[in-house]
Amino acid sequence: MKNCDTFEDNSEEALVAELISRAYKMLMRREYSAEELRKRFRNFASVATVQTAIERLIALDAQSDERYAEMLCRARYNAGKGPVRINHDLSEQRIASEIIESAMAEYEGKWKALADEIRVRKFGEKPPENYSEWTRQARFLQQRGFSSAQIDHFDG
């Protein structure tokens, strides 16, 4: 991206147009949260200019935190990550809690099955033989983002 000082027309509107153009190029490859765009553009323009560009992208439906949340949930679920991890990742991007709940609603009731699938893939079909082995497997699932309720159901 060009630095602000290299524009012939260094007006606010020219900066906004350049940011929107760059954002479109990024958004063609994948979804970005508004927060990701803010972080990427903060060194190239003032906070107000960046916010204006993001607001225009949202108005044009080019950027959507809802689409970003759905994309991230789908990708993380398919990668075997649990709801605690996904919720944390979305919260770090400053996605609103209502949007997070809506995006994760599709996977409600599927978390225990996913935890079982991930456990079997890593440790095999055989249930843990002792408490030490159980805690090792539970810790693995917890690091992947599964809650205690989703982990506690498997036992030897």
Q: Which tens digits make up the pLDDT trace of 122-141?
A: 999 998 889 999 999 999 99
Residue 13 confidence (pLDDT) above 60 = yes
Alpha-carbon 108 to chain mean position: 17
pLDDT of residue 1: 46
The pTM of this model reads 0.85
What six digits make up the tokens of 49?
Answer: 């200019």
Query: In the chain, where are the structural domains located?
Result: 4-59, 77-156
Q: Which tens digits make up the pLDDT trace of 136-155?
A: 999 999 999 999 988 876 65
The candidate with the shortest Cα–Cα distance to 85, out of 76, 74, 94, is 76
Q: Which tens digits make up the pLDDT trace of 90-111?
A: 999 999 999 999 999 999 999 9
Which residues are CB-neighbours of 154 under 8 A, at least 6 positions away? 115, 116, 119, 127, 128, 137
pLDDT of residue 117: 94
pLDDT of residue 8: 45
